[in-house]
Amino acid sequence: MNPTPPRPRRSDAEQARVDTALKEHFRGIPFSHQVLGVVVDCVHLPQPRLRLDMRPLLIGTPAYRRLHGGAIATMLDDVGGLSMLISMSERYCDESLEQLEHRFVKSGTIDLRVEYLRPGQGEFFIASAEVTRFGGRIGSAQTRLVNDQGTLIATGAANYIVS
């Protein structure tokens, strides 16, 4: 039996366009980018990353200057979603940016579980994700949020529509 030949990869220039589009996709999410201030730190597998600098607007516990739990959950959801889009761009590595964008707009979160492990204290926070499953219709990711000292603040598990 002959194995299926690998799909041809897009050119380096086209991949650079895809990477830029992934960053722009997240800049286009008003709540995450404009309200919270989440920025894309890395758009490559195996661990894409998002960054959030602490600001007074993000405090959930004023007496201790702790990051609000909603901001933590948003970061974990966003980084899991980013990992799905990157995985999609890898699976369909022969498709153009325009073809991928049609796929990107159909993706979305199915569920998200967050485990708050420690108080969200720090100057900035980094969220990362690892894809644990990327099927034909559903993808799963494990996510982590650490502070500027590398202390684990929260973890998450999420499933996404990826068809």
- Give pLDDT tens digits for 50-77: 999 999 999 998 889 999 999 999 999 9
Within-domain flag for 2: no
Alpha helices in the chain (DSSP H): 12-27, 69-91, 97-104
d(CA 155, CA 114): 6
Per the listing, tokens 């970061």 go with 75
pTM: 0.90
d(CA 124, CA 131): 24
∠ at Cα 23 (22, 24), nearest 5°?
90
Per the listing, tokens 């966003």 go with 78
Per the listing, tokens 């007074």 go with 56
| Structural domains counted in the chain | 1
Q: Which domain holds residue 75?
A: 12-161
User: What CATH number does the domain containing 104 carry?
Assistant: 3.10.129.10
- Give pLDDT tens digits for 108-141: 999 999 999 999 999 999 999 999 999 999 999 9
- Give pLDDT tens digits for 27-47: 888 899 999 999 999 998 888
128 touches 154 (CB < 8 A): no
